[in-house]
C-alpha cells in the first residue's frame, strides 16, 4: 500500500469515526446508537461491494482485519501507558 493511499485511508477513517461515533455521543447518544449506525454502514458497504451470497466470507475477513487492528492499537496504547509510568 502506498503512503498516499495510507494517508487518504487514515483521513477517511477519521472522518467516518467523527460522523459514526463522536457526533452521536456528543449529541447524547449511547454506544448502542453508535453500534447501530456502524452496523448500517457495514451492511451498506457490503451491499455495494459484494456479489450476492458472497458476504459471509468477506464479513469474516473484515472482522479478522478489524480484530488485528484493534489488537495492534491496544498494544500500542499499553506500551505508551507503560512508558509514561501510568501502569
User: Which H/E stretch holds residue 85?
Assistant: none
Q: What is the pLDDT of residue 61?
A: 87
| Residue 12 burial (CB count, 10 A) | 10
Q: What is the pLDDT of residue 19?
A: 93
d(CA 39, CA 6): 24
Q: What is the pLDDT of residue 1?
A: 66
C-alpha closest to that of 44 among 24, 36, 11: 36
Q: What is the pLDDT of residue 45?
A: 87
Integer angstrom CA distances of residue 80 from 69, 72, 75 = 17, 12, 9
C-alpha closest to that of 62 among 80, 45, 79, 85: 45
Q: What is the pLDDT of residue 23?
A: 93
**Tens of pLDDT, residue by residue, the chain (87 residues):** 688 888 898 899 999 999 999 999 999 999 999 999 999 998 888 888 887 777 778 888 888 999 999 999 999 989 888 888 876
Amino acid at each position: 500500500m502506498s503512503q498516499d493511499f495510507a494517508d487518504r485511508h487514515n483521513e477517511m477513517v477519521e472522518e467516518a469515526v467523527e460522523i459514526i461515533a463522536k457526533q452521536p455521543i456528543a449529541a447524547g447518544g449511547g454506544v448502542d446508537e453508535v453500534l447501530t449506525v456502524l452496523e448500517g454502514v457495514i451492511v451498506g458497504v457490503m451491499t455495494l461491494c459484494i456479489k450476492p451470497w458472497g458476504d459471509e466470507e468477506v464479513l469474516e475477513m473484515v472482522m479478522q482485519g478489524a480484530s488485528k487492528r484493534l489488537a495492534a492499537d491496544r498494544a500500542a496504547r499499553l506500551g505508551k501507558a507503560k512508558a509514561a509510568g501510568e501502569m
